[in-house]
Structure 1
């Protein structure tokens, strides 16, 4: 059955986990014969290349990133600048929502609208979605949402969607406890399809992620300072960019790690970066269902990670295909890294098991689950 599917996110092709997931799912749906459109609210700050002739249409609602709401000072009627700012912002939002409504009206009745991020849901809530199924998603754990402003916005904007999708059963159960009765869960597919495995011969530990507070690279550097004196031939290669880059490089120098840490910048060749490594490390403070460990396991690279979210322990099976440390426990993460760096046979055994186990999140199996969900919501 051919369906009309519209994915609505913050950006069409922002470099990052959700943007890569969105593009991957758009391609997978298109491969099944569905008519797919990807809509972004704003132009991306750090775009990635969609390639030549992507099998889906794209639309960005705003030419520039919309301004944030401005709080009024004192009596609202006297703060004329804030009042004018809010009036302009609301008018621009409604005009952009009108453009989204036009896209949805051009689709056949019964189209499926998948809202990948709660900020984008604010525009979908203003648009005309009548006759279509709306699925709202949160790509982070319940605890990460609860610690941010997104928690209240999910409660406000996702209350009336046809289905609220989380990434794991555990996160779904937590939202059910908040009074939501239309909740399901859907894992992310691994973005890599049968990549060549790493030979695990390079004395390199790799990290891939944004250089921001949530990804915990500061804790990774503290961890590496504990590990590298016992493994002087090894290097830590960090792929990524972000607001904390300069502070992290200063920390690296202060810890005396400049000779063993490589700042490799952003990469679109994730498989190549993983094949040049023997261990992958995830030092995040919070996650949803992270793509990077899925990619590492697809390349037969064992993972060491903080057990910071249900999605992480759903992916990595402790003592089977990787090792998990308690969230934020730098010494425990260091012990796990030391163990893998000291034992090539253990790296090989866990790496091969990881490549086998990650197949349960193959693009084909996850897309099948989406198709079953579409069938259920259409009944």
Structure 2
């Protein structure tokens, strides 16, 4: 009997929530006896755990992105890229194509039009943030898939899938970012609050800085660490300077292990306006780190923190409320510890073995 072959389309192999979950599914397929190939749309260095039995093929979409300033050149290069993308997929000749992130799903659908390959697409973000014309385009693409997976029920309701499209809601597995990391709480007295993620407008690190500014007025012994890089870096540095916080806020950049400095008094805060299911909250809960999050759309943080039982969930953009939660955690360790204990138990509901089984059942349903 022919070994069935699954092709996974990755935006890149760099660190990211979507890549982490997609790698989890790809590795699970190898364990189940499937042949697996990854086609990465970027030549970015691999920083996630990929089974060494998986063949990796790369394209370089970054070259296309670099020509965005010239519309005609960008459109020509994009078309060439789609043609090359299609050629590589046909050469690989899989039994199933699995594509994560809605814009990558759309590109996959366009590139593989009029081919025989079934597509399993997965929306990983918050579609409520899209303009109506984008929702229509993405909806059309999802309806050309054989199956679609959402992280949250709330996200699935924003699309109108045809009855013939298999639709599943499968949450992220609770696991750490990289199995090679050993996360240990350091035996230090360093006092800090920290946030992590791409420094983009969506993540609202400006709100985190404003919240910390309030905390510092009452607890100057605490400082703030921000892990990540991105287009908002200079703006955020300017904000820190304007608030005279240069001695208290540290930008750590991209690091492999964002928990490298944590101790028993560290507090993780997420201030995003919207997310899918924030993996960084999952990782914090697994590592028994107190968490505070905004109620980011469409509800992933609230799901992970079980409506506030596993960590405070506060109104988006409200830096005053965020600062009040941080101060409460600092001044009431029993309150914080109660949240940690509950969150650690709750996150076990997202057992990787259970999530793996749901993915494998869906894949078997499509191709067998």
Q: TM-score when scaled to structure 2?
A: 0.86
Deviation, 1:22, is 2.6
Kindly provide the CA deviation profile for residues 239-295 of structure 1, in whole angstroms up to 9, marking residues without a partner as x: 111111111011012112222222111111234345576211001111111110011
Distance 1:373 1:320, change over 3 A: same
- Separation of aligned partners in 1, 2:227 and 2:266: 15
What SS class does the counterpart of residue 14 from structure 1 fall into? coil
Match of 2:43 in 1: 43
Q: Does 1:126 align with 2:126?
A: no
Match of 1:355 in 2: 344
Distance 1:62 1:250, change over 3 A: closer
Q: 2:245 is matched with which residue: 240, 247, 257?
A: 257
Distance 1:256 1:190, change over 3 A: same
Deviation, 1:28, is 3.4
Aligned-residue CA RMSD in angstroms?
Answer: 3.1
Q: 1:299 is matched with which residue: 287, 294, 303?
A: 287
Match of 2:57 in 1: 59
Match of 1:76 in 2: none
- Separation of aligned partners in 1, 2:365 and 2:338: 40
Match of 1:136 in 2: 121
Distance 1:21 1:344, change over 3 A: same
Write the mapping of 1:1-379 to structure 2, written as runs, cut at 5 A. Answer: 3-11=4-12, 13-44=13-44, 47-50=45-48, 54-62=52-60, 64-67=62-65, 82=72, 86-87=75-76, 89-103=78-92, 105=93, 107=94, 111-121=95-105, 122-127=107-112, 130-144=115-129, 146-147=130-131, 150-175=134-159, 178-181=160-163, 182=165, 183-192=167-176, 198=185, 202-274=190-262, 278-309=266-297, 310-378=299-367
Distance 1:279 1:224, change over 3 A: same
Deviation, 1:302, is 2.1
Kindly provide the CA deviation profile for residues 173-211 of structure 1, in whole angstroms up to 9, marking residues without a partner as x: 232xx3554332121123317965647965221211111
What SS class does the counterpart of residue 36 from structure 2 fall into? strand
- Is the 2:207–2:317 contact (alpha carbons within 8 Å) kept by the matching residues of 1? yes
- Is the 2:174–2:351 contact (alpha carbons within 8 Å) kept by the matching residues of 1? yes
Kindly provide the CA deviation profile for residues 82-138 of structure 1, in whole angstroms up to 9, marking residues without a partner as x: 3x76455424421331111111x2x4xxx3321112333314432278554311111
- Separation of aligned partners in 2, 1:276 and 1:245: 28
What SS class does the counterpart of residue 262 from structure 1 fall into? strand
Deviation, 1:63, is 7.0
Unaligned runs of 5+ in 1: 73-80
Deviation, 1:315, is 0.9
- Separation of aligned partners in 2, 1:363 and 1:129: 36
Kindly provide the CA deviation profile for residues 132-171 of structure 1, in whole angstroms up to 9, marking residues without a partner as x: 4311111102213x24875343123222101122111121
- Is the 1:235–1:260 contact (alpha carbons within 8 Å) kept by the matching residues of 2? yes
Deviation, 1:55, is 3.5
* Equivalent residue pairs, number: 359
